[in-house]
Chain A
Amino acid sequence: MKFRTAASITVVTLLALSAGCSGGSEPNTGDGKSFEFWSFTGINQKASVDEYRKTHPDVDVKLTEVGSSVETAQALTTALAGGKIPDLVLIQGDDLPKFVQQAQNFHDLREMGADKIKGDYLDWVIAQSSAKSGQLIGIPTDVGGMAMAYRTDLFRAAGLPTDRAAVSKLWPTWSAYIETGRKYTAKTGKPFVDNAATSVFYQAVNQGTEKYYDPQGTPVYATNPQVRQAFDYGLQAAQAGITAKQSSFTSGWNAGMNQGQFATIAAPSWMLNSIRTNAPSTKGKWDIATIPGSSGNWGGSYLAIPKNAKNAKAAWDYIAGTQSPQGQLEHFVTSGALPTTPSVYTDAKLTGFKDPFFSDAPTGTIYTNSLLGLKPFLIGPDSSAIGQEFLNAITNVEQGKGQPAQAWDAAVKNIKTAIGK
């Protein structure tokens, strides 16, 4: 009988424990001042939250870093489909269009006070979080901008200039960049860039007047010559043998960065943190030059409030409190996330900011300059899937598995299958 009593006690206790422990501890919803916040990893929202709590000590912010940006978006989807929803969620720009399309799942932030502060933000950025009906579902927290990070020591060894102005002159266009890469690889026998898909194609395609959709929302990825041109640049880089074939954010990419396997990476402002954390031993050996094509953006996130959030007001207060121009400027100083509020672009804190890891490059100025040349284009609901197939096609050629001549057609065909259009 001992087994029986022991077993029943165990089971009962555990069931009680599990019932009590379900769903995690919710913030005190009574006072309406606490809220649940989902963010993704690598963007250091914790610093923002800590800052906010200094000025609002009575607010309990329960921050959860769910996973990568894609995983956070998926978690948000499953939550909206029937689970516990957070009060505030950070959505990455690539994942945003699907949610904008189903804007009924979110609060229209204009009703909560956004119409007063809308004007503070870059118009093409705000446009992305606005639904067709005019609903505003997200306030932008940052943009990526774009520049080319390069290793000064490796450039010196290859006989290339190391001063950032001189380096920027080396590659005003992508063709010039690929040519420089050829010279480098011929001289040193090592790869010039980490990969062709993200560092070349992905950046080039963002520099046109139109991307995968026309202003009316019709997919034009297959016919847009600018997309085709960017794709060809990617193919050329892959075929020139100047890439290390390391896909971004893989362990091989990390290791390669540490060991100087490649000399350049197309880096938005947030990636500088990745480089800093992944390759601390390379401190001081990097610098930042202008990206070929001179303008660009990768990334950018938005704060949104799901429709049935229990603590919507507290969540909105957080947004208003942290995403003001001053708030974004402060966040830039601590985490390098580029503000989306043009009024602070000339502020001394931003222009005077120098990053010692990257040879004291004035990252604030460099990255905000890269935003200036950007022309707003429509990002549609399937832009992310379309971009991914193009990336895959180029990676395929780069890995020696795809035929360059068929790569474009294969990509278009895959896109048609994936999105049905």
Chain B
Amino acid sequence: MTSKTRRSRRRPAERVRWWTYLGLGLAVAASLFPLYWMFVVATTDSATAYKLPPAVLPGGNFLHLADLVFTTVPFLRSLANSLIVAVCIGVGQAVLCALAGFAFAKLRFRFRNTLFLFVVLTMTVPTQLAVIPQYLIISSLGWVDTLQALIVPGLASAFGIFWMRQHLSTALNDELLQAARIDGANTWQIFWRIAFPLVRPAAFVLGLFGFVTAWNDFLWPFIVLKSPEMYTVQIAIKALQSNRDIDLGLAMSGSFLATVPLLVIFVFVGRRMVSGIMDGAFKG
């Protein structure tokens, strides 16, 4: 590229071509179609799913199928279970990761760098592969078939600590800290009254992602939860599917009912999630 010697006039931003909108439209359609199809089958019945050419319009059978979903498995209870677990993990991660991130970002203590390196390393280990001993430990604690078995392990998020540390490093400058110390604030007060409020948006986004991940988690609840009243909504969907005499309409209804709460929440906080991903993008 040749460099310009004279300052180029500020050109107006390029007009967006129509094929850009076409491409994006296709992307959106692809993203949303499976959900739409789920909705169609959930509001009609299995026979619709087996019709060729495929039916693409929703029907009015939703209430009947929804009712069946709620009677086949304790679905309402499973929604509550999922909510409890996801909120606890979301809030828990937001607070705990902010705490630890603050410590790594702004506090001086021995082995700080080594310990942080350890945290970063654990990000690469998929703890899923140790499910068998994890199950043995949980059962020796007597936590099989409980919600705390899902919540407590989910509170440790190495990525969350990494993320909060990034944000705290940039948001909190050292002069502010020093001034606070001179004023006699102790560490907790600095965290709770200065640091945390500054990164509340970031913590909120972290909590959101923690919530979504916990809501959609499958393997661990599948192993640990046994009685249907303790199911999270993901396991409840699976239970609908593994009925010997499967009814696809039922399974899709359940799937749809399990997705709707997240969709509703997404309408309100989706923008935050989008900016959360984009703010935290890997910067070289």
Q: What residues of chain A have their CB less than 8 Å away from a CB belonging to chain B?
A: 3-4, 7, 10-11, 14-15, 17-19, 21-25, 41-42, 64-68, 71, 75, 78-79, 81-84, 249-251, 254-255, 258-259, 273-274, 277-278
Q: Is the CB of B145 within 8 A of A23?
A: yes
**Considering the chains assembled together, what is the distance between the CA atoms of A99 and B260 in angstroms?**
41
Report chain A residues within 8 Å CB of B223.
78
Q: Is the CB of A78 within 8 A of B226?
A: yes
Q: Is the CB of A66 within 8 A of B244?
A: no
Report chain A residues within 8 Å CB of B91.
7, 10-11
Q: Is the CB of B145 within 8 A of A18?
A: no
What are 20 A-B contacts with C-beta separation under 8 Å?
A: A4-B192, A10-B91, A11-B92, A14-B84, A15-B151, A18-B147, A22-B145, A22-B146, A22-B148, A24-B229, A41-B243, A42-B244, A66-B226, A78-B135, A78-B223, A79-B226, A249-B244, A251-B246, A258-B50, A259-B50
**B85, CB-defined interface residue at 8 Å:** yes
A309: min CB distance to chain B, Å: 15
**Considering the chains assembled together, what is the distance between the CA atoms of A64 and B73 in angstroms?**
10
**Considering the chains assembled together, what is the distance between the CA atoms of A10 and B94 in angstroms?**
13
What are the interface flags for B137-164 relative to A under an 8 Å C-beta threshold, 1 for contact and 0 otherwise? 0011001111110010000000000000
A84 in contact with B226 given A18-B147, A24-B145 (CB within 8 Å): yes
Interface residues of B in 247-278 (CB under 8 A from A): 248
Q: Is the CB of A83 within 8 A of B140?
A: no
Q: Is the CB of A278 within 8 A of B230?
A: no
A78 in contact with B144 given A10-B91, A18-B85, A24-B227 (CB within 8 Å): yes
Report chain A residues within 8 Å CB of B146.
18, 22-23
B210: min CB distance to chain A, Å: 13
Question: Which residue of B85, B87, B145, B243 is within 8 Å of A83 (Cβ)?
Answer: B145
**Considering the chains assembled together, what is the distance between the CA atoms of A192 and B226 in angstroms?**
41
Question: Which residue of B81, B88, B139, B144 is within 8 Å of A15 (Cβ)?
Answer: B88
A42 in contact with B229 given A78-B135, A82-B139, A84-B145 (CB within 8 Å): no
A67 in contact with B239 given A14-B84, A82-B139, A84-B227 (CB within 8 Å): yes
Q: How many A-B residue pairs have CB under 8 A?
A: 103
Report chain B residues within 8 Å CB of A64.
227-228
**Considering the chains assembled together, what is the distance between the CA atoms of A14 and B90 in angstroms?**
12
Of A21, A42, A71, the most chain B CB neighbours within 10 A belong to A21
A381: min CB distance to chain B, Å: 21
Q: Is the CB of B226 within 8 A of A7?
A: no
**Considering the chains assembled together, what is the distance between the CA atoms of A277 and B226 in angstroms?**
27
Q: Is the CB of A25 within 8 A of B229?
A: yes
A45: min CB distance to chain B, Å: 13
B35: min CB distance to chain A, Å: 20
Q: Is the CB of A21 within 8 A of B147?
A: yes
Starting from the known contacts A10-B91, A23-B146, 5 additional A-B residue pairs (CB-CB under 8 Å) come to: A18-B151, A66-B228, A67-B239, A249-B245, A254-B246
**Considering the chains assembled together, what is the distance between the CA atoms of A158 and B92 in angstroms?**
67
Report chain A residues within 8 Å CB of B239.
67
Report chain A residues within 8 Å CB of B87.
10-11, 14
Question: Which residue of A18, A19, A68 is within 8 Å of B242 (Cβ)?
Answer: A68
**Considering the chains assembled together, what is the distance between the CA atoms of A68 and B145 in angstroms?**
19
Of A18, A41, A251, A278, the most chain B CB neighbours within 10 A belong to A18
Report chain A residues within 8 Å CB of B139.
81-83
**Considering the chains assembled together, what is the distance between the CA atoms of A42 and B245 in angstroms?**
7
Report chain B residues within 8 Å CB of A24.
145, 227, 229-230
Report chain B residues within 8 Å CB of A277.
245
**B181, CB-defined interface residue at 8 Å:** no
**Considering the chains assembled together, what is the distance between the CA atoms of A11 and B155 in angstroms?**
13
A42 in contact with B200 given A81-B139, A84-B226 (CB within 8 Å): no
- How many positions in chain B have a CB within 8 Å of any CB in the partner chain? 37
Chain A, Cβ-Cβ closest to B150? A18
Interface residues of B in 211-227 (CB under 8 A from A): 223, 226-227
B254: min CB distance to chain A, Å: 14
Report chain A residues within 8 Å CB of B151.
15, 18
**Considering the chains assembled together, what is the distance between the CA atoms of A71 and B223 in angstroms?**
11
**B95, CB-defined interface residue at 8 Å:** yes
Q: Is the CB of B144 within 8 A of A83?
A: yes
Report chain A residues within 8 Å CB of B147.
18, 21-22
Q: Is the CB of B85 within 8 A of A41?
A: no
Interface residues of B in 73-122 (CB under 8 A from A): 81, 84-85, 87-88, 91-92, 95
Question: Which residue of B47, B140, B148 is within 8 Å of A18 (Cβ)?
Answer: B148
Question: Which residue of B88, B200, B227 is within 8 Å of A14 (Cβ)?
Answer: B88
Chain A, Cβ-Cβ closest to B135? A78
**B29, CB-defined interface residue at 8 Å:** no
Chain B, Cβ-Cβ closest to A40? B244
Report chain B residues within 8 Å CB of A19.
148
**Considering the chains assembled together, what is the distance between the CA atoms of A250 and B248 in angstroms?**
10
**Considering the chains assembled together, what is the distance between the CA atoms of A15 and B146 in angstroms?**
12
Q: Is the CB of B88 within 8 A of A11?
A: yes
Chain B, Cβ-Cβ closest to A4? B192
Of B139, B227, B242, the most chain A CB neighbours within 10 A belong to B227
Chain A, Cβ-Cβ closest to B87? A14
**B63, CB-defined interface residue at 8 Å:** no
Report chain B residues within 8 Å CB of A82.
135-136, 139-140, 144
A306: min CB distance to chain B, Å: 13
Q: Which 6 A-B pairs have the closest CB atoms?
A: A82-B139, A83-B144, A22-B146, A42-B244, A18-B147, A24-B229
**Considering the chains assembled together, what is the distance between the CA atoms of A79 and B226 in angstroms?**
8
Report chain A residues within 8 Å CB of B88.
11, 14-15, 18
A385: min CB distance to chain B, Å: 19
**Considering the chains assembled together, what is the distance between the CA atoms of A18 and B245 in angstroms?**
33
**Considering the chains assembled together, what is the distance between the CA atoms of A17 and B88 in angstroms?**
11
Q: Is the CB of A42 within 8 A of B243?
A: yes
**Considering the chains assembled together, what is the distance between the CA atoms of A249 and B92 in angstroms?**
42
A207: min CB distance to chain B, Å: 25
